[in-house]
Amino acid sequence: MTLLDFARGPAMQIAIIIFVLGIFWRLVGVWALRQKKDLSEPRQKGAWIGGIKGLFVHAWPYKPFVPKVGTQYIVGYIIHLGLFIVLIFGTPHMLFFADIVGFTWWTLPGGVITAVSVITLVALFVALAKRLVNPVQRLISNFDDYAAWFLTTAPFVTGLMTKMNLWPHYETGLAIHILSVWLLLIYFPFGKLMHSFWFVVSRYTTGSRFARRGGMS
Amino acid sequence: MSNKTVTEIELDLESKRLSVRKPEERFDVQGEMSDDERIEKAMLNFAKDFGRVSATYMESCIHCGACAHACPFYEASGDPRHTPIWKIEPFKQAYKREAGPLAFVYKTLNLKPKVTVDELKNWQELLYDTCTMCGRCTLICPMSIDIATLVGMARHAMFHAGLVPHELYTVTEKAFKEGSPLGATPQVFEDRIEWMGDEHEVEMHVDEDQADVLVLMSSIEIQKYPESMAATAKILNHMGKSWTFRTDGYEATNFGMLSGNTAWQKDMSMKIINAAEKIGAKLVILPECGHAYQALRWQGANMYGKPLPFQVQHISEFLADAIDAGAIKLKTLNKSVAFHDPCQVSRRGGATPAPRKVLEALGVEQRETESGGNMNLCCGGGGGVITIHRADTLRYKIMGNKFRQLDATGAEMMVTSCSNCRQNFDDSGEKLNWGKEMNSLLELVADNLVEEAK
Ligand code: HEM
Ligand code: HEM
Ligand code: HEM
Ligand code: SF4
Ligand code: SF4
């Protein structure tokens, strides 16, 4: 079995099992906790509307905060959009998913994907530099923050190398790219990458709690 | 420092802010306990009110650091340790190690070290001196984490581990022993009601057997701003309400809640609830006090174990309703006014529109600060911070920022509806030569009541 066979075979299966079970465990571990009912008389009905609203209002900082964190949000959006575009609209990726879901879709030309990847990589390095230089972020960061950064960045680096044929041996290079993705999936449930799930839960929780009272959202 | 509990210090009634005198020697550790015991007590009490909501918040932080920029303490100090989420770091660490869904991983691999007493001692300043639980950090957080609630839980833990700042411990002890944190015993309360009744020639109602409305006061009003009592009485009399003060249920502050002792919190809330039930009250009016609003309006029913048999309103809500119903009419005040929102009433309480309605009825020109309403910058004195002498320097600096925002509106008059904020404005205003005065919304209404309308 070549490294590529391993990457496309057992490695993938193991990674996906850990990914799915890990996420399930972590979400259920929190949701299973009991929560005392709030008996106070709500100011208004329909707390869930506030919860839904909360999902959206925190997607961009409120006006007084824009001068302070606006740029950071833009960098964040570039990273996440880049991730999404490359993953869904890159032709090799689409073909990979098409195998699973059984249908194909429109993709972006390879050159565009390369450009998006480079921009995303730059944004990732800007985020890392900020984390290392900004005294606040530096103080509150831990191993997880750097691990998550590394594991998100690795597929971009190895993917670009595959695309540009920079590996001494193409197939092994591709295998490394694929394995870097499985590593990301394996780590995903155990650290902050889970924020892609928690953000829904947390924003909804605050949104609905305070919609009940009035005040902040 | 030793574990001796020499916490007895006298109240300082001369200063503009109400606290105890500056301790000559600080005792910021209480009780005789071994280090292990302290840690155990801390963690046990932290975990006590832990549920799905707090666990979600503990899981969600992505360490983006945005919250620092919303916090009045970080903004004033620039010290990264004052980053909101960092204030609960030891408890986050303990959660991950002991309680989260991945605790077994962290524990077996020792990825998160055990929290130590020294660590908690170092965090005392972060949890008590540099957080008012104002909730502004939640607004900026991309994950909407309610850090103020987590700080509250961490404070509960610290209290039970005997790791509370000296002054705060002293006032809490006074509240427990004397029924009031700031010397407003039932006798003092009665004397002051009588005094205000004579001085302002208003009819006072004390200890009536039957009344529709029970009126509460906080120690700060009783001791520093007794005019509140006269103002409330004047308005209620004018409206022809059946109301009363009760010497067996008047203290609106709840030191059980503050100190994190749920049994005391319940006792203190039950005093009020029992008094209200005894007289058949349909409404309990809370004074201009932010913390009282949290304690009774939002936590009262949870202490009682069922919905409260009466309505609870902050005085600003009561006034807004009275104006809406046409029950009171106000003279027009030809002034521009900037309103300072008390965090616990507005952002965390939801009564933000009420004072604005009242000001509209006064016909003033309302000028919002650059970051007003639910977005308001905290005055830096809530959550007991104002009692701690060690915290003064930073508190004045925060107030400097606050003054700049208020002054920038160019308003002629400043108004708020929390007497704790008000005493912070009085104290800091004197210190920083602000040259302006913070007024009470309630007193403003009482002073401008159209009385012949009846
Ligand atoms: C967001 C991070 C990325 C993820 C999760 C990801 C995922 C994957 C996966 C799962 C495959 C395997 C498909 C197969 O089995 O054939 C793959 C292949 C590939 N990826 Fe990525 N990738 C990422 C980023 C990139 C980037 C940034 C590029 C370059 C612009 C890239 C270029 C490629 C290429 C050229 C292949 C090989 C196609 C083939 O020859 O079969 N990837 N990627
Ligand atoms: C749709 C779900 C997601 C949402 C709403 C989301 C949201 C966020 C936010 C708000 C930040 C903070 C940005 C800042 O510093 O201001 C962030 C950071 C980050 N996210 Fe996501 N994210 C999502 C999914 C993902 C996924 C799927 C990955 C990777 C596989 C990921 C990787 C990262 C990384 C690495 C950072 C840290 C960047 C740094 O070091 O500052 N995110 N995310
Ligand atoms: C000198 C007497 C006072 C002391 C020592 C004190 C102490 C504290 C403490 C320790 C907390 C934290 C609550 C917790 O752990 O859950 C707190 C909360 C608070 N206090 Fe005070 N307090 C005092 C008087 C007052 C008064 C009279 C007011 C209002 C007029 C007030 C306004 C607030 C507010 C707005 C909060 C946040 C409420 C919450 O969400 O818990 N404080 N106070
Ligand atoms: S609640 Fe207010 S004072 Fe406390 S950390 Fe958050 S912003 Fe700062
Ligand atoms: S703003 Fe929210 S997510 Fe960001 S560091 Fe602060 S608490 Fe964590």
pLDDT digits 0-9 by tens, A108-156: 999 999 999 999 999 999 999 999 999 999 999 999 999 999 999 999 9
Structure tokens at B315: 């005085």
The whole-chain average pLDDT of chain B stands at: 92
Instruction: Quote the tokens at residue A181.
Output: 């993705």
If one counts every other C-beta atom within 10 angstroms of the C-beta of residue B135, the result is 26
Pick from B65, B307, B311: CB nearest A140:
B65
Q: Give SS3 for B393.
A: helix
pLDDT over 50 at B3, yes or no? no
Mutate to test the pocket of ligand 5, among B56, B58, B60, B64 (most ligand atoms within 8 A of CB): B64
B138 interface with A at CB cutoff 8 Å:
yes
Check if B269 contacts A (Cβ < 8 Å).
no
What mean pLDDT comes out for the span B240-245? 96
The 3-state secondary structure of chain A reads CCHHHHHHCHHHHHHHHHHHHHHHHHHHHHHCCCCCCCCCCCCCCCHHHHHHHHHHHCCCCCHHHHHHHHHHHHHHHHHHHHHHHHHHHCHHHHHHHHHHHCCCCCCCCHHHHHHHHHHHHHHHHHHHHHHHHCHHHHHHCCHHHHHHHHHHHHHHHHHHHHHCCCCCCHHHHHHHHHHHHHHHHHHHHHCHHHHHHHHHHHHHHHHHHHHHHCCCC
Q: The domain B29-163: what is its CATH number?
A: 1.10.1060
SS3 B272: helix
> Given CA atoms A38, A40, A42, A43 in this order, what sign does their dihedral have?
negative
Provide the sign of the torsion angle of the four alpha carbons A133, A137, A142, A146, taken in this order: negative
Instruction: Please answer whether residues B225 and B440 qualify as being in contact, where contact means their C-beta atoms are separated by less than 8 angstroms.
Output: yes
User: What pLDDT score was predicted for residue B5?
Assistant: 47
| Token pair belonging to A182 | 């499985």
Query: CB B398: neighbour CB atoms within 10 A?
Result: 26
pLDDT of res. B7: 57
ipTM comes to 0.95
The two tokens of residue A132 are 């290392």
- For residue B59, what is the nearest residue in chain A, using CA coordinates? A198
Tell which CATH classification among 1.20.1740, 3.40.50, 1.10.1740, 3.40.1350 matches the domain B323-447.
Answer: 3.40.50
Ligand 3 residue neighbourhood (C-beta within 6 Å): B 18-19, 133, 152, 155, 168, 171, 181-182, 218-220, 253, 257-258, 260, 289-291, 294, 344, 382-384, 387, 418-420
Whether residue A18 has pLDDT greater than 90: yes
Angle formed by the axes of helices B392-408 and B419-431, nearest 10°: 100
Residue appearing with tokens 């006064």: B362
Please report the pLDDT score of residue B4 as a whole number: 42
| Contact call for residues B135 and B343 (beta carbons, < 8 A) | yes
Would you say residue B452 has pLDDT above 80? no
CA–CA min distance A97, chain B (Å) = 29
Q: Which residue type sits at B303? A: M
pLDDT (tens digit per residue) in B183-215: 899 999 999 999 999 999 999 999 999 999 999
Which pair of tokens denotes residue A57? Answer: 């209002």
pLDDT of residue B454: 46
Q: What is the pLDDT of residue A112?
A: 96
Residues paired with B244 in a beta bridge: B214
Of B70, B142, B307, the CB nearest to A39: B307
Give the pLDDT score at B72: 97
Neighbours of B412 (CB within 10 A): 15
Q: Which tokens in the block code for residue B405? A: 């925002």
- B177-318 shares the fold of B29-163: no
What is the spatial distance between Cα A48 and Cα B282, in angstroms, rounded to a whole number? 29
Q: Is B340 in a helix, a strand, or coil?
A: strand
Q: Is the pLDDT of residue B313 over 90?
A: yes
Nearest CA to ligand 5 atom 4: B64
CA B435 to chain centre: 25
Q: By percentage, how much of chain B surpasses pLDDT 70?
A: 97
| pLDDT, tens digit, 9 for 90 and up, residues B366-423 | 999 999 999 999 999 998 899 999 999 999 999 999 999 999 999 999 999 999 999 9
Q: Do B102 and A190 touch (CB under 8 A)?
A: yes
User: A–B: how many Cβ contacts below 8 A?
Assistant: 168
Pick the residue of A27, A34, A40, A72 with the most B CBs within 10 A to test the interface with B by mutation. Answer: A40
Closest ligand to C-alpha of residue B144 is: 5
Instruction: Give the per-residue pLDDT at B2.
Output: 38
d(CA B259, CA B154): 11
Of B138, B141, B307, the CB nearest to A41: B307
DSSP string, B234-259: HHHHHTT--EEB-TTS-B---HHHHH
Q: Which residues neighbour A168 within 8 Å (Cβ) at sequence distance 6 or greater?
A: none
Nearest Cα residue to atom 3 of ligand 5: B61
Q: Residue B348 is nearest to which of A61, A198, A216, comparing CB atoms?
A: A216
Alpha carbon distance A120, A152 (integer Å): 11
Specify the pLDDT at position B63. 97
Q: What is the pLDDT of residues B252-271, one digit of tens each?
A: 988 778 777 788 889 889 99
Nearest CA to ligand 3 atom 39: B291
Residue of the CA atom closest to atom 2 of ligand 1: A155
Q: What's the CA gap between B136 and B377, in Å, rounded?
A: 7
Question: How far apart are the C-alpha atoms of A204 and A207, rounded to whole Å?
Answer: 5
Q: Where are the domains of chain A?
A: 61-141, 142-217
Considering the entire predicted model, what is its pTM?
0.92
Largest CA distance in chain A: 69
CATH topology for B177-318 is Rossmann fold (3.40.50)
Average pLDDT score over residue span A30-55: 91
Nearest to A149 by CA among A62, A42, A75: A75
Beta-bridge partners for B312:
B284
Contact with chain A for residue B51, Cβ under 8 A: yes
* Cβ(B238)–Cβ(B451) below 8 Å: yes
Q: Which ligand is nearest to the CA of A109?
A: 1
CB B404 within 8 A of CB B369: no
Residue B352 Cα, gap to closest chain A Cα (Å): 6
User: What is the Cβ-side half-sphere exposure of residue A105, based on CA atoms within 13 angstroms?
Assistant: 12
In angstroms, the separation between the Cα of residue A181 and the nearest Cα of chain B is: 21
Least confident of B32-36, B108-112, B143-147: B108-112
Name the B residues in 180-199 with CB < 8 Å from any A CB. none
| DSSP 8-state class, residue B126 | I
Among A76, A139, A192, the residue with its CB nearest the CB of B83 is A139
pLDDT value, residue B9: 76
| Greatest CA separation for chain B | 77
Q: Do B101 and A25 touch (CB under 8 A)?
A: yes
List of chain A residues whose C-beta atoms are within 8 Å of the C-beta of residue B51 = 33-36
B435 close to A (CB below 8 A)? no
Flag whether residue B348 sits within 8 Å of chain A, measured between CB atoms.
yes
At residue B429, the pLDDT reads 95
Res B44: pLDDT: 84
pLDDT at B345 over 50: yes
Going from N- to C-terminal start, the domains of chain B cover 29-163, 177-318, 323-447
B 374-393 → A contacts, CB under 8 A: 374-375
User: In what side-by-side order are the strands of the sheet with B336-340?
Assistant: B365-366, B336-340, B413-416, B438-440
